[in-house]
Amino acid sequence: MTQADRAHAFAALHQPGTPLVLYNCWDAGSGAAIAKGGAPALATGSWSVAGAQGYADGEALPLNTLLQIAARITATCSVPVSLDFEGGYATAPQELRTNIARVIDADIVGINFEDRVVAGDGLHDIDTQSARLTAIRAEADAHDVPLFINARTDLFLQSDPAEHSEHVEAAITRGKAYAEAGASGFFIPGLSDPEMIRAICDAVSLPVNAMCLDVTADVAPLAALGVSRISFGPAPYRAAMKALTLHAERLYT
C-alpha cells in the first residue's frame, strides 16, 4: 500500500457517529503496542512525544528528533500514522512547506496543526492561519499525498470552561475558514460540553475531532454527538507512566 493509499484509508476512517478512536502513542514501541491491540491507525500527541524525550510541550523537542521518532513509528507500524505537528515549527508559509515536505518524507499521512501562537500569546488570526493551511495543502499536493490536515483551534484550551459558550460561534467561523483553506478535519480540544460539541459538528462540514482525557471512559456518548474522531492526547502516556511508577514502587518501597 502506498503512502497515498494509506492517507485515503486514514481519511475514510473518519465517520460521524462511528468515529475513529485514536489512543495516542509517543514512540515506535507504544505505537506497535497500540496497533497490536487492534488500532486501525495511530496518532502521536505532542505532549507525550516531548515528555518521553525529556522535553516540555510547545515545540521544545527539536524538529530533527521529532521527525526521527515519526520515521521510526512508520517503519515499525503498518497502519496509517498521523503526527501531532503543533504549529509546524514555523510561522511563514514557505518555511511550513519545507517542514511539511520532511514530514511527508517520514511516511506520515496526517498531521494535527494548531492555530495558537507557539511560544507566544493567543491565536493566529483567521487569515494568517488560513494562509498557513493553504501552504501545507499545496506542499502535500506537490508530493501527491492527500495529507489529512486536522486543523486544531485552541479557542477552548485557552479559555475558562465557564466562557466556552461564548466561543462556539468563533470556533464555527474558524472551522469553516479552515475547510476553505484546505483542512481535512477540525479539532476542538478542551471542549467537553455535549451540546456545544454537537452544535459545532452540525455547523462545520469537516469531520470533527473531540478529545477525551479519561482512558477508562466510554466513548459512545461522545460518538453519539456526531464527532468523527476521538483522541486521548496525553492521557495514555500519563496512564502508562503512572503504571510504571507503581510497579517500581512495589520493588523499591
DSSP code per residue over 104-169: HHTT--EEEEE-B-TTSSSB--HHHHHHHHHHHHHHHHHTT---EEEEE--TTTTS-GGGGGGGHH
Q: Tens of pLDDT along the chain (253 residues)?
A: 899 999 999 999 999 999 999 999 999 999 999 999 999 999 999 999 999 999 999 999 999 999 999 999 999 999 999 999 999 999 999 999 999 999 999 999 999 999 999 989 999 999 999 999 999 999 999 999 999 999 999 999 999 999 999 999 999 999 999 999 999 999 999 999 999 999 999 999 999 999 999 999 999 999 999 999 999 999 999 999 999 999 999 999 9
Helix, strand counts (H, E) of the chain: 10, 8
According to CATH, the superfamily of the domain at 21-212 is Phosphoenolpyruvate-binding domains (3.20.20.60)
Rg of the chain in Å (alpha carbons) = 17
Nine cell digits for residue 2? 502506498
Say if CB 79 and CB 40 are below 8 A apart. Answer: yes
Stated as kind and residue range, the H or E segment containing 17 is none
Distance CA 153, CA 151 (A): 7
For the chain, the structural domain boundaries read 21-212
Q: What is the pLDDT of residues 115-126, one digit of tens each?
A: 999 989 999 999
Distance CA 72, CA 222 (A): 32
Where b means 16+ CB within 10 Å and e means fewer, 189-222 reads bbbbeeebbebbbeebebbbbbbbeeeeeeeeeb
pTM of the model: 0.97
Q: What is the pLDDT of residues 137-188, one digit of tens each?
A: 999 999 999 999 999 999 999 999 999 999 999 999 999 999 999 999 999 9
What percent of the chain is predicted at pLDDT more than 70?
Answer: 100
Residue 130's pLDDT is 98
